[in-house]
């Protein structure tokens, strides 16, 4: 919440402009690449630009995310043992549901990232690899996967991780009593899962245990998305959870007080909601971890800079970037940065949700139905300037709906719609929106008042929304702004399908999944297609993107390029800003990287001296 609440917050005092975490499009279930140390390897890790020198601002005080490395420059030799302090930046305590099968929300997943991991890891383009705790082989038709768990992969209590455990995780998630958020489209894609969930079958027919360490899963549909996060890869320890009723699992001490995993560190003690102390898991399958101890504690966004300067924490999960410009020269840390898998956007309400049919119903008479009006509103706002002034260049003008965090799929040649307020006025004039006094009227001469809602959170949220209102006013549009907190905002945008008809335009943000398939956000049958836009061309492209033909990457690239063009032409929503994620790291930390496919693992993280560096 500012205000956090509005901390959120209350708050309060927020990390980022919007509660992106809660608005996550990841079609990868619990597979969120843990925001903590990167969990995945890749040979082709991006080369880091020289230097330990901090990324410098240019003379206007602007930064560019491409100047940041995602890997820490090692200084000094690793110490044997030592301990590391990790700051979980959050204005609320973490919920403490410490199991991949049950958790919801980023804070818990950051806690999980240190002591547990999935069976598969992925590379820089988010495709599953064979260097994780298990390897996989796909059948000819791409529907059947055979997984083999490595022999030396064990739970923290020494019991081997078995195929049975992996199956058990599926059985728990599919169980009618299951109370977590993982029963999703990935789950229902498993053959026999829905029958099992509805109680029509005792077992999941698509999952077969072939041996202690071997599992075979058959999926209904083979799509390119399947190998970019479409598989459930987290086993659940059956020797521990087997006797607990499913309904009681998420509240059990085995989840909350003495959680178990297979990761490089094991949980030693927990202060609920506040901190966790991890000890080294010497038996870790990749090898012995470098540190003796890791201490994770929740740090309020308003304290994070102080804690970093004093060495109270060595690394943080998610640094609030609005605090970066004032602290870019902090002497005891190195700043790492990557392009965030997220974008901020402005959406136009173009129809309604038909709950019965489960699809959107575009309304040709909607107030925002005229594409010229929407285009003019895009042309009227100078997002380049917004990024530079509000975010010192760490957020920047967005052009298409696939962000540059997916460099192959993001169409950099598509300029989107560029800032041109004069052009916007002209466009409106030609489309019949004539000036009548200060403001324009509809083509039929009646009054035009546009209702715009935006979310509170962070101190920039409100001035940013005001800026948009002003920009629209400058081209003669009368826009009313209402700032709403998260719940009210989504309630009115229509997260239950009951859209508030008084909302015409809204500003929100999506954090996108590791797969680019936009069906969940822009498909005809997607509840979260809040603009309620649909067209046959859109349907076709979305279907093509995950068709069998799309296994051919060149074809898939072409399809999504076309889709990005379509969205720039139709403008049901327009992206405003792309975002970067920053991570300060104390100079004593070695072998640390953020982002995906870096080829560096959690167990390698080390420190070069006992005490953290303190800022001068």
Of residues 381-440, those binding other proteins (CB under 8 A): 385-386, 389-390
Nearer to other proteins, 19 or 124 (CB): 19
Map the footprint of other proteins across residues 463-502, applying CB under 8 A: 463-464, 466-467, 470, 481, 483, 485-488, 490-492, 495, 497
Only one of the segments 89-97, 199-207, 406-414, 442-450 lies at the binding site for other proteins (rule: CB under 8 A); that segment is 89-97
Nearest approach, Cβ of residue 108 and other proteins (Å): 10
Give the position of tokens 């169980």: 175
Nearest to 298 by CA among 461, 487, 105, 66: 105
The smaller minimum CB distance to other proteins, of residues 137 and 610, is found at: 610
The Cα angle at residue 171 between residues 131 and 263, in degrees rounded to 5 = 35
Selected range binding other proteins among 70-78, 151-159, 175-183, 552-560, rule: CB under 8 A: 175-183
Q: Which 97-116 residues touch other proteins, going by CB under 8 A?
A: 97, 102, 104-105
Which of 494, 493, 496 has the alpha carbon at shortest distance from 505?
A: 493
φ, ψ for residue 252 (rounded to 5)?
Answer: -75, 155
Residue 362 Cβ, how far from other proteins at the closest point, in Å? Answer: 19
Cα separations in angstroms, 557 against 146, 423, 444, 573: 28, 32, 42, 21
Interface of this chain with other proteins, residues 2 to 41, rule: CB under 8 A? 2-13, 19, 22-29
Nearer CB in complex with other proteins: 153/521: 521
352 binds other proteins (CB under 8 A): no
Query: Least distance from C-beta 299 to other proteins, angstroms?
Result: 7
C-beta of 6 vs 556, nearer to other proteins: 6
**Complex with other proteins: residue 174 or 337, whichever CB lies closer:** 174
Q: How far is the CB of 169 from other proteins (least distance, A)?
A: 17
Minimum CB separation from other proteins for residue 392, in Å?
A: 10
Rounded distance between C-alpha atoms, residue 32 and residue 131, angstroms: 18
The encoded tokens of residue 154 equal 């064990």
- The interface with other proteins within residues 225-284 (CB under 8 A) comprises 250-251, 255-256, 268-269, 271-277
> Which of 75, 221, 323, 478 touches other proteins (CB under 8 A)?
323
Residues 325 to 344 in contact with other proteins, rule: CB under 8 A: 326-327
Q: DSSP H helical segments within 148-252, as ranges?
A: 163-174, 185-188, 193-197, 238-241, 246-249
- Give the Cα separation of 340 and 404 in Å (integer): 8
- The tokens describing 598, both together, are 């870096």
Q: How far is the CB of 106 from other proteins (least distance, A)?
A: 11
User: Nearest Cα to 313, choosing from 325, 300, 296?
Assistant: 296
Strand, coil or helix: what is 108?
A: helix
Dihedrals φ, ψ of 400, to 5°?
A: -130, 175
507, 576 Cβ separation under 8 angstroms: yes
d(CA 139, CA 143): 6
Examine residue 167 and tell whether it contacts other proteins (CB under 8 A): no
Contact, 115 vs 156, CB < 8 A? yes
> Closer CB to other proteins, residue 285 or residue 319?
319
> With CB under 8 A as the contact rule, which of the stretches 40-48, 181-189, 280-288, 583-591 interacts with other proteins?
181-189
Rounded CA separation 427/475 (Å)? 10
Q: Kindly identify the residues of this chain, within the stretch 301-320, that bind other proteins according to CB under 8 A.
A: 302-303, 305-307, 310
Nearer to other proteins, 302 or 418 (CB): 302
Contact pick of 36, 40, 69, 186 for other proteins (by CB under 8 A): 186
Binding mask 190-229 for other proteins (x = CB under 8 A): ----------------------------------------
Closest CA to 321 of 334, 304, 307: 304
Instruction: End-to-end CA distance of the chain: give it in Å, rounded.
Output: 31
Identify the bridge partners of residue 295 per DSSP, sorted by sequence position: 85, 277
Residues 502-521, one symbol each (x = binds other proteins by CB under 8 A, - = not), give -----------x-----xxx
Cβ proximity to other proteins, 271 vs 282, nearer residue? 271
**Does position 61 bind other proteins by CB under 8 A?**
no
Contact 589, 607 (CB under 8 A): yes
How far is residue 66's CA from residue 548's CA, in Å, rounded to a whole number?
35
């Amino acid at each position: 919440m500012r205000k956090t609440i509005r901390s959120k917050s209350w708050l309060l005092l927020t990390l980022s402009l919007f509660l992106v975490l809660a608005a996550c499009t990841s079609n990868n279930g619990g597979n969120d690449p843990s925001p903590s140390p990167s969990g995945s390897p890749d040979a082709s890790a991006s080369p880091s630009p020289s230097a330990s020198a901090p990324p410098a601002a240019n003379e206007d005080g602007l930064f560019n995310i491409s100047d940041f490395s995602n890997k820490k420059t090692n200084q000094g030799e690793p110490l044997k043992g030592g301990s590391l302090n990790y700051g979980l930046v959050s204005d609320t305590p973490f919920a403490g549901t410490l199991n991949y099968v049950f958790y919801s929300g980023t804070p818990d997943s950051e806690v999980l990232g240190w002591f547990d991991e999935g069976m598969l890891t992925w590379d820089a383009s988010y495709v599953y690899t064979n260097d994780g705790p298990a390897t996989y082989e796909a059948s000819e038709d791409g529907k059947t996967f055979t997984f083999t768990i490595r022999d030396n992969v064990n739970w923290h209590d020494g019991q081997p991780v078995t195929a049975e455990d992996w199956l058990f995780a599926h059985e728990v998630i599919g169980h009618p009593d299951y109370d977590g958020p993982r029963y999703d489209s990935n789950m229902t894609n498993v053959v026999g899962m829905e029958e099992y969930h509805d109680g029509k079958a005792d077992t999941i027919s698509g999952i077969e245990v072939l041996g202690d360490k071997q599992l075979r899963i058959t999926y209904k549909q083979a799509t390119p998305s399947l190998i970019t996060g479409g598989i459930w890869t987290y086993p659940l320890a059956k020797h521990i959870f087997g006797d607990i009723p499913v309904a009681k699992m998420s509240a059990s001490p085995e989840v909350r007080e003495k959680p178990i995993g297979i990761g490089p560190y094991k949980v030693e003690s927990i202060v609920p909601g506040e901190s966790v102390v991890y000890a080294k898991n010497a038996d870790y399958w990749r090898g012995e971890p470098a540190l003796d101890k890791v201490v994770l504690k929740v740090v309020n966004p308003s304290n994070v800079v102080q804690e970093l300067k004093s060495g109270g924490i060595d690394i943080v999960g998610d640094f609030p970037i609005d605090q970066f410009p004032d602290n870019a020269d902090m002497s005891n840390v190195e700043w790492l940065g990557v392009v965030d898998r997220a974008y901020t956007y402005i959406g136009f309400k173009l129809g309604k949700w038909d709950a019965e049919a489960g699809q959107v119903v575009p309304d040709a008479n909607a107030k925002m139905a005229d594409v010229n009006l929407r285009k003019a509103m895009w042309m009227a706002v100078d997002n380049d300037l917004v990024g530079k002034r509000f975010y010192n260049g760490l957020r920047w003008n967005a052009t298409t709906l696939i962000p540059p965090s997916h460099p192959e799929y993001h169409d950099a040649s598509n300029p989107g719609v560029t800032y041109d307020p004069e052009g916007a006025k002209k466009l409106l004039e030609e489309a019949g929106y004539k000036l009548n006094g200060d403001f324009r009227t509809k083509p039929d001469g009646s009054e035009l008042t546009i209702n715009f809602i935006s979310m509170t959170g962070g101190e920039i949220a409100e001035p940013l929304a005001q800026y948009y209102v002003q920009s629209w006013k400058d081209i003669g549009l009368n826009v009313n702004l209402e700032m709403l907190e998260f719940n009210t905002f989504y309630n009115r945008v229509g997260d239950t399908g009951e859209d508030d008809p008084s909302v015409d335009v809204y500003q929100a943000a999506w954090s996108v999944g590791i797969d680019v398939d936009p069906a969940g956000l822009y498909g005809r049958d997607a509840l979260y297609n809040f603009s309620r836009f649909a067209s046959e061309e859109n349907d076709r492209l979305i279907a093509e993107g995950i068709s069998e033909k799309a296994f051919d990457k060149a074809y898939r690239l072409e399809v999504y390029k076309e889709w990005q063009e379509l969205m720039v032409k139709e403008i049901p929503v327009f992206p405003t800003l792309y975002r970067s994620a920053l991570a300060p790291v104390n100079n004593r930390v070695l072998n640390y990287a953020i982002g995906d496919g870096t080829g560096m693992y959690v167990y390698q993280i080390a420190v070069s001296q006992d005490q953290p560096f303190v800022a001068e």
